[in-house]
Structure formats: C-alpha cells, structure tokens
Amino acid sequence: MKDKLEILVGIGIAVAVIVTLYFFLINAGNIDSSEIISSGVVIILVASALYILWDRIKNVKRGLPAQDERLKITNYKACYYGFIASIWSAVGAPLISGIIFDYELPGHYVTAVVVLCGGLAFMLSYFLLAWKGN
Amino acid sequence: MKTRIKELRARHDLTQEDLAIKVGVRRETILFIEKGKYNPSLKLAHDIAKVLQTTIDELFIFE
C-alpha cells in the first residue's frame, strides 16, 4: 500500500513538473540559452524520475518490494551527494559567474542552479550506486 | 567477501527472483550479494540463511 502510494505521488509530481514546464515554454516568448539548459536539465531529471518509478512499478507487479535495504542505502548516499552538490553550487555559482564572466548572478538564478545541480548530482549518484551495488 | 548463495540456491532449485520474493528484497540485491558487491544487513543474511536451510557462517566466506 505504501509502495503504491509513493508511486502515485511520484507520478503526480512528475506530471505536475511536465505541465509547469510546458506552460513556461509556450508562454516564455524569447528563450535564452540559460533557460534552454535549465529546461534540458529539468527534462533529464523528470525522465530519470519516471525511469525509477517504472522500475518500482515493474518490481511491485512481480511481487517484489519497490524498495529494499540496498536501495534505501543507495537513496541516502545519493541524497548526501546531492546535498553536497547543492551547497557547493550555492557557493560556487556566484563566485564563478563573478570571476569568469564578471556578472553578478541574480538570486533566482542561484536558486535554480542549486536546485538543478543538487537534483542532477542525486540522479547521477543514484544510478551509479545502483549500478555498482554500493 | 565470497558467498555460497548461488550454490545453495541451485541445490534448493531456486532462482534469484524466487529467493528475493522469499526474503522480501529486489532481485538485483540477491545478484549483488552473490557477486560480493553488496554486504547485506545481519537480518537479511539471517533470512537468506533460513530460506537456504543453512547458517550465516556457512553462507558467507570472510577472507
């Protein structure tokens, strides 16, 4: 029951993100390169999340648990790496922007970088750890 | 760490998926334990040993 609820919530969030991105893109007008990159990262994150959900659905259908002790450890480790990436991107993004491009990054851009870097680091480390077996 | 899970599983005519269902984990977890890429918790090791009618000592070879 808990597994099914988690899967349903996951699908709901993924659909909500896709719908939000769709409305953003059709109403954005002129889209600059940073928006294209951030939209691309969001699409990668949503696709990865949908893959994880599909994998869980496949296991539940076969009578196996959606998540077991190994995947819980994988999740914790991936969360840790995502957290570290978020912190470093919060510090590094304004610094790199200021030093290399001589441009003061606005607050909402820093927030976007932090969220996307954290998400990307989580997904990459999740798949790497799941593939390696911890 | 090496294991004898594969050998004992074959003796009991169990597939990885059968064993995974019996101990309540995913098939990949059994695969990684067999390959020595994942160290299971004491509870999971105990459950696997119980299903394969052996002891943890006989199931895992510590080097």
The three-point CA angle A62-A67-A73 to 5° equals 150
* Structural element, H or E, at residue A60: helix A33-61
pLDDT score of B5 = 93
B32 has a pLDDT exceeding 80: yes
What residues does B2 pair with on adjacent strands? B61
Q: For residue range B35-48, list pLDDT tens digits in order.
A: 989 999 999 999 99
- Is the CB of residue B51 less than 8 Å away from at least one CB of chain A? no
Residue A61 CA to residue A56 CA, distance in Å, equals: 9
Residue type, B50: K
Q: What share of chain B is helix, strand, coil (3-state, %, to 5)?
A: 60, 5, 35
Residue A101 CA to residue A98 CA, distance in Å, equals: 6
Nearest to A70 among B17, B35, B38 (CB): B38
Q: For helices B27-35 and B16-23, give the axis angle rounded to 10 degrees.
A: 110
Residue recorded with tokens 């993004």? A93
Pairing label, strands B2-3, B60-61: antiparallel
The distance in angstroms from the start CA to the end CA of chain A is 27
pLDDT tens digits for chain A (134 residues)?
A: 777 888 889 889 989 989 998 888 888 778 888 788 888 888 999 999 999 999 989 998 888 888 899 999 999 999 999 999 999 999 999 999 888 888 888 888 899 899 999 999 999 999 999 888 76
Residue type, A112: A
- Residue B30 binned pLDDT confidence (cut-offs 50, 70, 90): very high
Average pLDDT score, chain B: 92
Q: How far is CA B54 from CA B14, B47, B58, in A?
A: 15, 10, 7
Residue B43 tokens, joined: 């509870």
Q: Chain B neighbours among A 7-36 (CB < 8 Å)?
A: none
- In sequence order, which residues have a C-beta less than 8 Å from that of residue A88 and are 6 or more positions away? A117
Residue B12 tokens, joined: 């009991």
Its ipTM equals 0.86
Residue type, A27: N
**B41: chain A residues, CB-CB within 8 Å:** 69
